[in-house]
Every structure is written in structure tokens, then in C-alpha cells.
Structure 1
Amino acid sequence: MDVFYPPENVARQRAMFERGLVIAEMPPGTDPRARHFPYRNRIIAGISAGTVVVEAAPRSGSLITARLAAEAGREVMAVPGSPLDPRAQGCNQLIRDGATLIQNARDVVEELRPMEARVRSATSPYRAEPKHLNGDDGALDVIEDLLGPSTVPVDEIIRLSGASSGALQMALLELDLAGRLGRHASGKVSLRSEA
């Protein structure tokens, strides 16, 4: 944390110390080494609501971050590029594998906003006392309220609803049998509109 890297970022890192957040797993005085970057990528993926990959060669550290974000149930987004450009191959592969295609900043906001709105609108009694959701008929209503047309990681629904894993799976099964649940890559789900 106390070693500026790269050196031209001294002012930026100092500003982050003063007005933002600087965290590291390595003890003070540790010089930056390439082998430490995947550890950093894990922290970035873990504290972010989503990861946007703008440019990535097939063997890129950005792809490590994207994989870690997906494993943590975070949103993974990528900017497409020319299939002839090796710097775009990683992004194009992410999109092919289910990452959300991003063309501008508005796309990122739209992708993350549905979850934010559902968190704010979720009824607090259910979140305050999760024991009421375990096996309770009300679990279906709460879980359905947290779902929308955008994909959401199942783990995030458990966290937001306070439902047990079993209650969540039962609610998802009911929605699935009713033809209202969409299942997506990386353990994500969404709600289909009623026909």
C-alpha cells in the first residue's frame, strides 16, 4: 500500500488515500510483483457489484478478474471488439460465454440498476427477520419481488431476502414450473413476464 506503482500514479494513489479507499493483502513495504496481481484482482471482483472488461487478450489479467467476479456471483460485462484484434478476443469470448455486452456507460448503469431498485423496494420486515422466510409461504412473494427481467445471481437473492437456500430453491422451482423463471449462465436467474 505504501509503494507507488506505477510511479506515474503517485498523485492518484495519494488522492485515493485521502478521499477514497486503498486496501491490500500484502504487508506495507511489499514491492508490486506480477504474481500479486491475481490477489488484487480477487479483491477488486469481491468488493464490486460488477466487473466491466474493456479490452483483454486471451491470456489477460482482466479475464482472471472476470472469472473471479463470476465465481463470486457478481455481474460480468464486456465491451465487444473486432474479431481480428487480439486485444478484443478475451472480451468477445466473455460475451459468447454469457457476459453482458456493454457499448457505453449507460449500459452499465442499466445492468446494475435493477438490483439496486429491488434492494431499496424490498420490504424490510422480511430482511430484518429472515426466520419468517424459512419454509414460509411468504418466501415466494419476497423472492418474486426481488426478481426482474435482468439476471441476478441466486446467492444475491438469498442475501437480500434472508431466505434459506431450501426456501429459495422451492420458490424458484414453483416459478420454474409456472414458466415464469429464466435460468442463465453462472447460476443466474431472471423473471419472465406473465403471458
Structure 2
Amino acid sequence: MTLNDDQRLDWLRLIRSENVGPRTFRALVNHYGGAAAALEMLSALARRGGAQAPGRICSLDQAKREFEAAARIGARFVALGEPDYPARLRMIDDAPPLISVRGRSDVLKSAMVAIVGSRNASAAGAKFASQIARDLGQAEFTTVSGLARGIDAAAHRATLDTGTIACLAGGQDQIYPPEHAPLLDEIVERGAAISEMPFGWEPRARDFPRRNRLIAGLSLGVVVIEAARRSGSLITARLALEQGREVFAIPGSPLDPRCEGTNGLLKQGATLVTEASDILTALDPILGRTISAPAEEPEADNHASTAEPAADERRRITSLLGPTPIDIDDLIRLSGARAAVVRTVLLELEIAGRLERQTGGRVALL
């Protein structure tokens, strides 16, 4: 699949509209057959879902301005299903429909390993991160990390010549930390920077876990070096496990708080790493597998035109929802309604800001 310019603008408008996240985007496109048709239905869905006023819908002018901002810094938008979209990233449940990419496209098709860890890294931790990253680069792996201080920066710098990918928590023009802007310029010469956030978006605390799922999603496995008991690196490790990725951890001194998280991962079954060969041994069998992924834009739901819920159906389905997550399949069974009707009600509630989609195909009422 390759989008034309108009379709790409429609995709950008839809994902930038209020209450539309990656999972909602796919549900809308599946249900209505395309982003353009879904955009036309957003206001009606919000009203039927109980919103007093329609949520903000990204305008065509806003989308064009973001395209122009991307072009000014040499970035481009790649859509889920297009050849340049990273194959492993598209396999996760909440893969971003569009990513902005700055740098080389071919590096996105390589085998990738993530290296993450403490921002306040020790000298030994930074040195080990550099060595592991360098050895993986010589073995033709691309390093993925988050451009943060400490371990991330050490891994990126060690693989500038062999290729590295920086996942950004903000827009492509809002680099964090700011002092790493020159490092990012070096990264994109031989590697790439990717982001799902709008241009001009300054990263906030809650944006970093979103960024971390991209780091894990791109990679065959995640290597954690020096992570405190509560740290973003452990979030990345958890997301990697949920996505079926390998998790590796480097042991550290029990007396160093920066190693509490990594030592904890080892107790939970992460693969212990003291050299790059430990990682290569675990990943070699995975590299022999074929990656299968959707190649086309999702087709329209055949029942979309006849899925208008009756008032009693809408009440029955909504009454079954609450703050406790429920599987959509269970909701269909308990409500006795057709699957297409249930999905329509869920879309209405979500666009109205009343529903949250969770991992494993579960939903909960906010």
C-alpha cells in the first residue's frame, strides 16, 4: 500500500483529531472504509456517544501546515502498511498510523535492538552501553534508543557509523533534551529519527511511556543497563514483554540504586548479559522467522451501512460497561447485539471521550 497525497492528509487529520488514538484510528478506518469517510462521521459519533459538543477535528489547513513544517526539516510521513513502515512496529496492537521520519529509510528495515537505561548513568554503565552497542553494530544490528542523557546517548554515539534510530517523545522540531540536537543531526546522517507526535509538540512526562512503546516495538529485544526501581527503562521492558520481545538485563552492584531495576528484571527471568554474544545467541533464531504484516489499508466493515444501533441496543451495551475492563467479544455475547452494532457504540463513546481502549482488546468506561 502507498497513500497518495490526499489520503496522507486525511490520515494525518484523523489521527490529530481529538479522542482519536492509534486503536481508535484503526477501528474507524475498518468501520467506514477509509480516513476520509471516518472524518465525516466524527461529529455525529461524538453526539451519539453523549458529548455535549463535537471534539476538535484537525482541519485540512492544519494538516497542510504540519506537512510543510516536516518538509522544512527534511522529515516525511510514513503510513502503517507502506513499504518504509518498520515491519515489527506495525505488529503491535497500538502501532501509530503515521510516523514522521527524518533520515534514511533503509535503516528502518534492518534488524534492531533497543538499549535503554539510566539518565544518571555511571561511567562504567555508559562504557558498557557503548561497548555493547558497538559490538551489535558490527554484527549488523541497528541500535534503537530514546535520545535521553546517560545510557541512551552513549548507545547512540557508539553506533553513529553503523546506524542508530532515535525515538522522540515530542515533535521532530522539539528535541529533548535540547543539548542533544547536535547528536540527533549526526544520527540522521546514517540512521533515522522517528516520532508520532505533532510538529511543535513539546514532550511532557506522559509522552515518554508512549515513546517507550515505539522503542520496544521497533526492536527484536530490549537491553536494560542501569535502571532504578522506578524508571522509564522498566516501563520499556514491561512493554517489550507485552509485545513479545526479548528482555535482556546487565547485572549491577546491589549497593547501587541505579541497578535495583535491572537486578529485579534478572530475578523475574530476563536474560543475563555480560557481552554482546549473549544477545546474539538469543536473537539468531528470531531472525530466521518471517515477519508477516498487513500490506493494505483495512477494508470497510461490510455491516457499516446497517450498523446504526437502536436506542435500546445503545442503552443495553452502555449499561454493560464500567470502569472494570471487559473483552469486546464478551460485550458482544452479553449484549446479544451484532458485532458491528457493538463496535459502532464503542466508537461513539470513544469519540465522545467516554471510553478507553486497553491492551488485549478490552474496553472500559471512563
Say whether the fold is shared (TM-score over 0.5).
yes
Alignment match, 1:34? 205
Matched, 1:119 2:268: no
Measured in 2, the distance between the counterparts of 1:36 and 1:115 equals 30
Measured in 1, the distance between the counterparts of 2:190 and 2:173 equals 16
Matched, 1:81 2:252: yes
Measured in 2, the distance between the counterparts of 1:87 and 1:7 equals 24
Q: Which of 78-87 and 62-71 deviates more?
A: 78-87
Alignment length, in residue pairs? 120
Pairwise CA distance, 1:106: 2.1
Measured in 1, the distance between the counterparts of 2:197 and 2:286 equals 33
Measured in 1, the distance between the counterparts of 2:289 and 2:278 equals 19
Matched, 1:15 2:186: yes
Pairwise CA distance, 1:63: 0.1
Higher relative contact order by CA 8 Å / sep ≥ 6: 1 or 2? 2
Measured in 1, the distance between the counterparts of 2:196 and 2:286 equals 29
Alignment match, 1:101? 272
Match of 2:175, SS?
Answer: coil
Match of 2:236, SS?
Answer: helix
Alignment match, 1:60? 231
Corresponding letter in the other structure for 2:266: I
Instruction: From the two aligned structures, give the one with the greater helix fraction.
Output: 1
Alignment match, 1:44? 215
Match of 1:41, SS?
Answer: helix
Unaligned runs of at least 5 residues, structure 2: 1-171, 293-366
Measured in 2, the distance between the counterparts of 1:113 and 1:2 equals 37
Pairwise CA distance, 1:109: 1.8
Measured in 2, the distance between the counterparts of 1:5 and 1:18 equals 19
Measured in 1, the distance between the counterparts of 2:286 and 2:235 equals 24
Measured in 2, the distance between the counterparts of 1:49 and 1:7 equals 29
Corresponding letter in the other structure for 2:226: E
Pairwise CA distance, 1:30: 0.8
Alignment match, 1:154? none
Corresponding letter in the other structure for 2:217: G
Pairwise CA distance, 1:114: 2.4
Q: For residues 140-159 of structure 1, what are the structure 2 equivalents within 5 Å?
A: none
Pairwise CA distance, 1:20: 1.9
Pairwise CA distance, 1:73: 0.1
Measured in 2, the distance between the counterparts of 1:10 and 1:75 equals 30
Percentage of identical aligned residues? 57
Corresponding letter in the other structure for 2:289: V
Alignment match, 2:299? none
